[in-house]
Amino acid sequence: MIKLDSKIPEGPLAEKWSRYKTGLRLVNPANKKKIDIIVVGTGLAGAGAASALGELGYNVKVFCFQDSPRRAHSVAAQGGINAAKNYRNDNDSIYRLFHDMMKGGDYRAREANVYRASEVSNDVIDHFTAMGVPFARDYGGSLDTRSFGGVQVSRTFYAKGQTGQQCLLGTYSSLNRQIAKGTVKIFPRRDMLDIVVVEGKARGVITRNLVTGELERHSAHAVVLATGGYGTVYYLSTLGLGSNASAAWSAYRKGAVFANPSFIQIHPTSIPVLNDYQCKLTLMSESLRNDGRVWVPKEKGDKRHPNEIAEEDRDYYLERRYPAFGNLVPRDVASRAAKERCDAGYGAGDTGLSVYLDFKDAINKQGEKAIRDKYGNLFEMYEKITGVNPYKQPMRIYPAGHYTMGGLWVDYNLMTTIPGLYAIGESNFSDHGANRLGASSLMQCSGDGYFILPNTISDYLADDIRTGKIPVDQPAFEEAEKQVADRIQKIMDVGGKETASSFHKRLGKIMWDYCGMRRDAEGLKKGMELLIQLEEEFWKNICIPGTDKELNQELEKALKVADFFEVGRLMCEDALQREESCGAHFREEHQTETGEAKRNDAKFAYVAAWEYQGPKAKPILHKEALEFKYVELKERSYK
């Protein structure tokens, strides 16, 4: 059985990272050339890590499933990226950013990791600026910032509503620079299907070439997963359609412990479902809540056009319930409040499953141009999708699956429980506790990739300078490849009638209904049962046209869906054991009289880390106790 060791260094919080870093072993430049590193994923985390490692002189191989690294889903982030620059003189600091993240995460994250993420945030912004990322500026030429949910300072750097795109393209440019130098080799259009473990260490991956269908073996001295989030478990989500859990899941099956799988953020402001064929929900950035006011009609079932509903007939329920933070309460709070109003019958639109986000007051006060400057592209996007002009009438929004706080368990070095296997960015669990604050993921991903991992990984690789190339013709690679080939064969052989998307949609509905914004024991158990049934059906009736030796998108989808059944079950299992409400995890059984989340710190101040025991067996739960020395655990009040 695995024993968790978080390896959090001793010493005062603010000095942990700098002291620890000094003690880490290095690999000298001549030896770096003898060391191979695999990075899977080219989002902010993966592309950042690959380029930083390439710069240091390692041989890096980097993989993504898209045709270009520039298309990783980081590209879709809209609102911004946090840093503790204190450019506004609003008394911001590294400590305050740390504190906001701890509180925002409802005290279920590690102090040391969160502090470090805050600490490197300023370097991240400087590096992006130096690479030419066009952050918004004010007239004097210095960088502009804006506010985001859950905080009272203005520390979010942005590039219109396309911050993720601009940060990713910056990171992509640094990757290209290393590709040109020959330190990094890029393998696009590859699905990573398994990790190869040799004598207890991660030594390679098995990938499928998505154009030819060939299985490939790649070896290295260490493997870094930066494969993003698995919010697509809900089918409808704000993620890209190719986003998946499979890469992380293959690591889980090989012994990497998976932490807090049920902590998934449901984002409050997505465009609601408009038709039954929809497979994707589009986010409207949280930044809109800076100027938009959220409301529903005061009268149940009031179906009047929103512009005809007078001020006094509107219920600005966030401002009413949370006067201190108003429309800028954190995401989990805003999502549940929307669901509460809609479930109670006050929702807007034909389905009653949406609330209004209204810019009328902001436009009256600041003028249409000011609003256009800030959110122009988001407004356009909204109009393209819905056919409604949000300058003229309020947007309709509803919560959607968005971000996975849970992920592969890592220690302070960002290493999983498999030696030599690292997880960075959204694919790990480490910095956001039970709820992520807006604009802190881009910050964490880039911090992990550019500034943290390159330091910690050298300490591990220092033992590998004499190892030499890892051969791919050894049994561990053969076995792993055979397992993958057998699984593909099995899925191709079913010859059923139902498509992968259809199964995915049914699976997503189970997850949304039983392991979504509100959960209870009975529902979670029911969810698990339904998942088992659906999985059985899948293996009897999945239909995949064509062959596996060619570009086959149906096969790609089916392989991802096949993993989601297990992911979903573990999410339910995790949500069931956590007999408290915290952050995005809300258990009906555990709420205050006013319907707010009720934590139980005495019993549940731990990270739930699950160890795989086989496809049907119950996984083992490990508990990493969380210690809080620098923040005081309080009821998270935004009133």
Partner 1 sequence: MNFTLKIWRQKNANAKGSFQTYPLKDVSPEMSFLEMLDYLNNQLIARGNEPVTFEHDCREGICGSCGLYINGRPHGPQRSTTTCELHMRDFKDGETIVIEPWRSKAFPVIKDLIVDRSSFERIMHAGGFVNVNVGCAPESNSNPIGKLIADKVFDAAACIGCGACVAACKNSSAMLYAAAKIAQYAMIPQGKVEAKERVDKMVKQMDAEGFGFCSNTYACEFDCPKGISTDFIALMNREFFSSKACKQKHA
Ligand X SMILES: Cc1cc2nc3c(=O)[nH]c(=O)nc-3n(C[C@H](O)[C@H](O)[C@H](O)COP(=O)(O)OP(=O)(O)OC[C@H]3O[C@@H](n4cnc5c(N)ncnc54)[C@H](O)[C@@H]3O)c2cc1C
Instruction: Report the catalytic residues.
Output: 331
Instruction: Give the residue, chosen from 6, 59, 74, 145, that forms a contact with ligand X under the rule CB under 6 A.
Output: 74
337's contact among partner 1, ligand X, none, with CB below 5 to 8 A by partner kind, is none
165's contact among partner 1, ligand X, none, with CB below 5 to 8 A by partner kind, is partner 1
86 or 427: CB nearest ligand X: 427
- How many Å apart are CA 96 and CA 84, to the nearest integer? 8
Instruction: Give the residue, chosen from 546, 579, 613, 634, that forms a contact with partner 1 under the rule CB under 8 A.
Output: 546
| Phi and psi at residue 385, to the nearest 5° | -80, -40
Residues 150-179 that bind ligand X (CB under 6 A): 163-164
Q: Count CA within 13 A, CB hemisphere, residue 421.
A: 30
Per-residue x/- mask for partner 1, residues 162 to 201, rule CB under 8 A?
x-xxx--x--xxx-xx-xx-----x-x-------------
Q: How many CB atoms sit inside 10 A of residue 263's CB?
A: 32
SS3 582: strand
Tokens found for residue 321: 């319930």
| Nearest in space to 267 (alpha carbons), one of 446, 519, 515, 437 | 437
Per-residue x/- mask for partner 1, residues 283 to 312, rule CB under 8 A?
x-----------------------------
Residues 564-623 that bind partner 1 (CB under 8 A): none
Strands (E), 131-233: 156-157, 184-187, 190-198, 201-209, 215-219, 222-225
Instruction: Give the residue, chosen from 99, 116, 160, 339, that forms a contact with partner 1 under the rule CB under 8 A.
Output: 160
Instruction: Give the residue, chosen from 13, 52, 239, 318, that forms a contact with ligand X under the rule CB under 6 A.
Output: 239
Tell me if 149 contacts ligand X by CB under 6 A: no
145's contact among ligand X, partner 1, none, with CB below 5 to 8 A by partner kind, is none
Tell me if 105 contacts ligand X by CB under 6 A: no
197's contact among ligand X, partner 1, none, with CB below 5 to 8 A by partner kind, is none
Smallest gap, in angstroms, from Cβ of residue 207 to partner 1?
17
- What sign does the CA torsion over 182, 212, 492, 545 have? positive
CA dihedral 535, 539, 545, 547 (to 10 degrees): 120
Residue 264: beta bridge partners? 404
438 or 568: CB nearest ligand X: 438
Residues 502-531 that bind partner 1 (CB under 8 A): 502
Beta strand 36-40 pairing with 59-63: parallel
Tell me if 154 contacts partner 1 by CB under 8 A: no
| Phi and psi at residue 558, to the nearest 5° | -60, -40
Q: Which stretch binds ligand X (CB under 6 A): 225-233, 351-359, 413-421, 607-615?
A: 225-233
Instruction: Give the residue, chosen from 16, 32, 96, 127, that forms a contact with partner 1 under the rule CB under 8 A.
Output: 127
Per-residue x/- mask for partner 1, residues 232 to 271, rule CB under 8 A?
--------xxx-----------------------------
Instruction: Give the residue, chosen from 43, 306, 399, 407, that forms a contact with ligand X under the rule CB under 6 A.
Output: 43
Asked if residue 371 lies in contact with residue 391, where contact means CB atoms within 8 angstroms, the answer is yes
Q: Which are the contacts of 381, defined by CB distance < 8 A and separation ≥ 6? A: 161, 282, 284
Asked if residue 83 lies in contact with residue 146, where contact means CB atoms within 8 angstroms, the answer is no
173's contact among partner 1, ligand X, none, with CB below 5 to 8 A by partner kind, is partner 1
Residue at 277: amino acid letter: Y
Instruction: Give the residue, chosen from 142, 307, 613, 637, that forms a contact with partner 1 under the rule CB under 8 A.
Output: 142
22 or 275: CB nearest partner 1: 275
Smallest gap, in angstroms, from Cβ of residue 99 to partner 1?
23
Asked if residue 297 lies in contact with residue 317, where contact means CB atoms within 8 angstroms, the answer is no
Asked if residue 445 lies in contact with residue 158, where contact means CB atoms within 8 angstroms, the answer is no
Smallest gap, in angstroms, from Cβ of residue 106 to partner 1?
29
Q: Which are the contacts of 396, defined by CB distance < 8 A and separation ≥ 6? A: 271, 272, 348, 349, 354, 355, 356, 357, 386, 388
Q: Which stretch binds ligand X (CB under 6 A): 111-119, 238-246, 355-363, 496-504?
A: 238-246
SS3 191: strand
116's contact among partner 1, ligand X, none, with CB below 5 to 8 A by partner kind, is none
122 or 577: CB nearest ligand X: 122
Q: Looking at beta carbons, which pairs linking 121-124 to residues 24 or more positions away fall under 8 Å?
A: 121/82, 121/83, 121/84, 121/94, 121/97, 121/443, 121/447, 122/83, 122/84, 122/85, 122/94, 123/447, 123/450, 123/451, 124/81, 124/83, 124/443, 124/446, 124/447, 124/450, 124/451
66 or 553: CB nearest ligand X: 66
Instruction: Give the residue, chosen from 299, 380, 463, 520, that forms a contact with partner 1 under the rule CB under 8 A.
Output: 380
Residue at 352: amino acid letter: G
274's contact among partner 1, ligand X, none, with CB below 5 to 8 A by partner kind, is partner 1
Asked if residue 142 lies in contact with residue 617, where contact means CB atoms within 8 angstroms, the answer is no
Smallest gap, in angstroms, from Cβ of residue 137 to partner 1?
4
Tell me if 228 contacts ligand X by CB under 6 A: yes
63 or 503: CB nearest ligand X: 63
Smallest gap, in angstroms, from Cβ of residue 585 to ligand X?
18
Tokens found for residue 504: 């995915």
385's contact among partner 1, ligand X, none, with CB below 5 to 8 A by partner kind, is partner 1
Q: Burial of 122 by CB count in 10 Å (0-12 exposed, 13-18 middle, 19+ buried)?
A: middle
Instruction: Give the DSSP H or E segment for 168.
Output: helix 163-181
Residue with tokens 């996984």: 619
Residues 437-466 that bind partner 1 (CB under 8 A): 450-451, 454
Residues 440-469 that bind ligand X (CB under 6 A): 440-443, 445
Instruction: Give the residue, chosen from 13, 27, 117, 125, that forms a contact with partner 1 under the rule CB under 8 A.
Output: 125
Smallest gap, in angstroms, from Cβ of residue 481 to partner 1?
24
Instruction: Give the residue, chosen from 543, 621, 631, 633, that forms a contact with partner 1 under the rule CB under 8 A.
Output: 543
Instruction: Give the residue, chosen from 31, 66, 393, 553, that forms a contact with ligand X under the rule CB under 6 A.
Output: 66
Q: How many CB atoms sit inside 10 A of residue 115's CB?
A: 23
Tell me if 238 contacts ligand X by CB under 6 A: yes
Asked if residue 327 lies in contact with residue 338, where contact means CB atoms within 8 angstroms, the answer is no
Residues 45-74 that bind partner 1 (CB under 8 A): 51-52, 55, 66-68, 70-71, 73
Provide the binding-site residues for ligand X, judged by CB under 6 A: 40-46, 63-66, 72-74, 76-81, 163-164, 190-192, 226-229, 238-239, 244, 246-247, 283, 402-403, 425-427, 439-443, 445
